Structures are given as C-alpha cells and as structure tokens.
Homo-oligomer: A and B are copies of this chain.
Amino acid sequence: MERPLDALSKAKGKIITVALKNNSVVKGKLDAFDIHINLVLSDAEETNGEKNKHSQLFIRGDMVVHLSMTN
C-alpha cells in the first residue's frame, strides 16, 4: 500500500467501525471519504452509552480517532 487513503479506498462499500473523539463508536457502510477524512456512512449504528441508528451519517473528519476495517 502506498498511502493511508488507499486503505479507505479499498474499504468503500464495506462495513467499518469509526472511533470518534467524543468517545462515540459508529459502525456502518463506508459510502464516501475525502482527504480531510470526512466520512459518509450508511445504515450506521452509533454507540455512546446509548445506541442511535442513522440511515445516513456525515462525520466531520476532525472528529475521527481511527477507522477499523473489517475483513
């Protein structure tokens, strides 16, 4: 792999788990990303004490701690 964003390109259309700086964890299908690590997830479930469902969720890139790819 050449660059970190290549890993995101390969994850498009797949289920990923995103840890946010507010300690939320969001799991969903990666629809889109950009160089700021702005993300769009669909069928997303957010866990932060309680659980919330989002049919489509835009996440601002500067909130991202890390993204875990699922095999």
Contacts and interface: CB of A to CB of B under 8 A. Distances in A.
Given A55-B71, A69-B57, A70-B55, A4 B34 contact: yes
B66 A60 contact: yes
A54 B2 CA distance: 20
Copies of the chain in the assembly: 7
B56 A3 contact: no
Nearest to A39: B4
Given A4-B40, A5-B38, A54-B68, 16 more contacts: A1-B40, A4-B33, A4-B34, A5-B34, A6-B32, A7-B40, A8-B58, A20-B66, A22-B65, A56-B69, A57-B68, A58-B67, A58-B69, A59-B65, A59-B66, A60-B65
